[in-house]
């Protein structure tokens, strides 16, 4: 598999252990760190079944379990980001499903240092070229400490 081929099959590559963004396997999916880190700590909960396209596709018990995993990842991001950056504000959680055809939840940490015109707005308003496509904010080894911190919090919360 090439260095980026996993992006075309994020869930399958996670099952095969080939997705480098996987932080932890959770009960109903995979906690992954986002490819773009312009808001450090951005993470996603991927469903473990690529045929599931929306939350309502899941039976009630599995739906509830997915939401529990989502909350666990959100709390892990919050705890890690608060510890690493005193300007941490809060976490935003979104299940959108407008682009990728499988169930996934976005976990966005928000910070006081964000630009005034964006800090209270949806992250999707950040400039595409500057934040979403450029190499400056690409996931890289410099994020290893952040990855480890979120993973440690996931482990601690899972044991609680």
Per-residue CA distances from 13 to 50, 52, 74 (Å): 11, 16, 23
Contacts of 141 (CB under 8 A, 6+ apart): none
CA–CA dist 73, 94 (Å, integer):
12
Q: What is the DSSP string of 56-86?
A: GGS-HHHHHHHHHHHHHHHHHHHHHHHHH-T
pTM across the whole model: 0.94
Question: What tokens were used for 159?
Answer: 């044991």
Give the pLDDT of residue 7.
86
Task: List, for residues 10-62, the tens digit of each pLDDT value.
Answer: 999 999 999 999 999 999 999 999 999 999 999 999 999 999 999 999 999 99
pLDDT tens, position by position, 91-144:
999 999 888 889 999 999 999 999 999 999 999 999 988 898 888 999 999 999
Distance CA 25, CA 48 (A): 9
Complete domains list, the chain, with CATH: 5-159 (3.30.428.10)
In the prediction, which pLDDT does 1 show?
Answer: 42
pLDDT band (50, 70, 90) for residue 3: low
Q: Give the pLDDT confidence of 61-103 residue by residue, as tens digits.
A: 999 999 999 999 999 999 999 999 999 999 999 999 888 889 9
């Amino acid at each position: 598999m090439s260095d980026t081929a996993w992006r075309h099959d994020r869930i399958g590559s996670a099952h095969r252990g080939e997705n480098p963004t996987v932080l932890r396997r959770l009960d109903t999916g995979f906690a992954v760190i986002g490819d773009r880190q312009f808001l450090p700590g951005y993470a996603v909960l991927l469903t473990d079944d690529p045929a599931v396209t929306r939350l309502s596709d899941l039976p009630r018990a599995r739906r509830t379990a997915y939401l529990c995993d989502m909350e666990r990842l959100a709390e892990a991001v919050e705890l890690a980001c608060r510890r690493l950056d005193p300007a941490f504000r809060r976490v935003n959680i979104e299940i959108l499903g407008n682009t990728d055809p499988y169930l996934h939840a976005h976990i966005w940490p928000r910070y006081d240092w964000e630009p005034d015109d964006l800090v209270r707005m949806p992250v999707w308003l950040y400039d595409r070229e500057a934040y979403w496509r450029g190499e400056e904010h690409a996931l890289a080894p410099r994020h290893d400490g952040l990855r480890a911190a979120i993973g440690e919090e996931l482990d601690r919360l899972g044991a609680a």
